Amino acid sequence: MLLAASISLSLNTDAFSLLSEDSFSVFPQGIASGDPTENSIVLWTRVNPDVHRKLKKKLKLYVSDSLEFSGNVKTFDISSEMISSVNDYTVRFKLRRLIPGKTYYYRFEYGGVRSIPGRFKTFPKNTDSISIAVVTCQHYADGYYTAYRHISKKDIQFVVHLGDQIYEVSKFAKIPERKIKFPSGEYIAMDIEDYRYLYRTYLSDKDYQVARALHPFIYLWDDHEFANDYAFDYRKGYWNLPNHPYNKNRNRVLELRKAAIKVWYEYSPVDMHLNLSDKNPLRWIKVYRSFNVGNFMQLICTDERSYRNIQPCKKIFLSKGCEEQLKTNMLGNTQKLWFFKKLKNSTFLWNVWANEVLFSKLKVFDLYYKLDTWDGYIKEREEILDFLKKNRIFNTVIISGDLHAAVVSNVKYRFKKDEETICPEFMTPALSSINLSERKWWKRFSKSVELFESLQKFQNPWIEYINHRIWGYSILHLTNETARFTIFSVNKYRKDSPERKEAEFVYHRLKREINRLL
Is the CB of 302 or the CB of 433 nearer to Fe ion?
433
Q: What share of the chain is helix, strand, coil (3-state, %, to 5)?
A: 25, 30, 45
H or E stretch covering 267:
helix 250-267
Half-sphere exposure of 451 (CA within 13 A, CB side): 7
Return the number of other C-beta atoms located less than 10 Å from residue 512's C-beta: 15
Which residue among 83, 137, 270, 331 contacts Fe ion (CB under 5 A)? 137
Q: Is 190 in the site for Fe ion (CB under 5 A)?
A: no
Nearer to Fe ion, 101 or 242 (CB): 242
SS3 category, 368: strand
State the minimum distance, in angstroms, from the CB of residue 404 to Fe ion. 6
For the bound state, the minimum distance from the C-beta of residue 338 to Fe ion, rounded and expressed in Å, comes to: 25
Q: How many residues bind Fe ion (CB under 5 A)?
A: 3
Coil, helix or strand at residue 269 = coil
At closest approach, how far in Å is the CB of 299 from Fe ion? 21
Q: Which is nearer to Fe ion, 164 or 168 (CB)?
A: 164
C-alpha closest to that of 363 among 408, 327, 415: 415
Which sign does the torsion angle of CA 411, 414, 415, 416 carry? negative
* Residue 164 interacting with Fe ion (CB under 5 A): yes
| Closest approach of Fe ion to the CB of residue 2, in Å | 40
Give min distance, CB of 164 to Fe ion, in A. 4
**Polymer length in residues for the chain:** 518
Distance CA 282, CA 301 (A): 17
Residue type, 322: C
Looking at the Cβ atoms of 139 and 257, the one nearer to Fe ion is 139
Minimum CB distance to Fe ion, residue 249 (Å)? 25
User: Among residues 149, 150, 69, 60, which one has the least CA distance to residue 104?
Assistant: 69
Q: Which stretch binds Fe ion (CB under 5 A): 33-41, 132-140, 243-251, 476-484?
A: 132-140
Q: Pick the closer one to Fe ion by CB: 372 or 425.
A: 372
28 neighbors 150 (Cβ within 8 angstroms): no
Of the candidate spans 115-123, 131-139, 226-234, 273-281, the one that interacts with Fe ion by CB under 5 A turns out to be: 131-139
CA distances from 206 to 108, 153, 351, 414 (A): 17, 14, 33, 45
**Shorter beta-carbon distance to Fe ion: residue 82 or 169:** 169
Is the CB of 89 or the CB of 202 nearer to Fe ion?
202
Q: How far is the CB of 433 from Fe ion (least distance, A)?
A: 5
Closest distance between Fe ion and the C-beta of residue 421, in Å? 27
Least distance (Å) between residue 137 CB and Fe ion: 3
The region of 130-138, 246-254, 282-290, 377-385 touching Fe ion under the rule CB under 5 A is 130-138
Q: How far is CA 443 from CA 344, 367, 436, 437, in A?
A: 45, 15, 11, 10
User: Among residues 201 and 433, whose Cβ is nearest to Fe ion?
Assistant: 433
CB of 141 to Fe ion, least distance (A): 13
Does 135 help bind Fe ion (rule: CB under 5 A)? no
Find out whether 362 and 318 touch, Cβ atoms under 8 Å.
no
35 or 223: CB nearest Fe ion: 223
Helix (H) or strand (E) holding 337: helix 333-344
Phi, psi of 301 (to 5 degrees): -100, 120
Nearest to 167 by CA among 213, 218, 228: 228
Task: Give the C-alpha separation, 219 to 188, whole Å.
Answer: 23
Q: Which helix (H) or strand (E) holds 299?
A: strand 297-301
Task: Give the range of 161-169, 324-332, 347-355, 491-499 binding Fe ion by CB under 5 A.
Answer: 161-169
Q: Which stretch binds Fe ion (CB under 5 A): 136-144, 227-235, 356-364, 470-478?
A: 136-144
Instruction: Pick the stretch among 163-171, 381-389, 449-457, 489-497 that binds Fe ion (CB under 5 A).
Output: 163-171
Q: Quick one: which segment of 70-78, 82-90, 134-142, 389-397 binds Fe ion (CB under 5 A)?
A: 134-142
- Between residues 109 and 223, which has the closer beta carbon with respect to Fe ion? 223
Write down the least CB distance from residue 246 to Fe ion, Å: 21
Q: If we measure between CA atoms, which residue out of 393, 427, 428 comes closest to residue 409?
A: 427
Taking CB under 5 A as the binding criterion, the range among 320-328, 351-359, 431-439, 451-459 that sits at the site for Fe ion is: 431-439
Nearer to Fe ion, 137 or 487 (CB): 137
Residue closer to Fe ion (CB basis): 433 or 474:
433
Helices (H), 375-474: 378-390, 449-459
Dihedral pair phi/psi, residue 385, rounded to 5°? -65, -40
Instruction: List, as one string, the DSSP characters of 165-210.
Output: SS-SB-S--SSGGG----TTSSSB--SHHHHHHHHHHHTT-HHHHH
Residues of span 433-472 touching Fe ion by CB under 5 A:
433
Q: Of 392-411, which residues contact Fe ion (CB under 5 A)? A: none
Which CB atom, from 164 or from 205, has the smaller least distance to Fe ion? Answer: 164
Least spacing, CB of residue 263 vs Fe ion, in Å:
18
| Residue among 109, 106, 134, 132 nearest 120 (CA) | 106
**Interacting stretch for Fe ion, rule CB under 5 A, among 235-243, 418-426, 432-440, 489-497?**
432-440
DSSP designation for 335: H
Q: Which residues bind Fe ion (CB under 5 A)?
A: 137, 164, 433
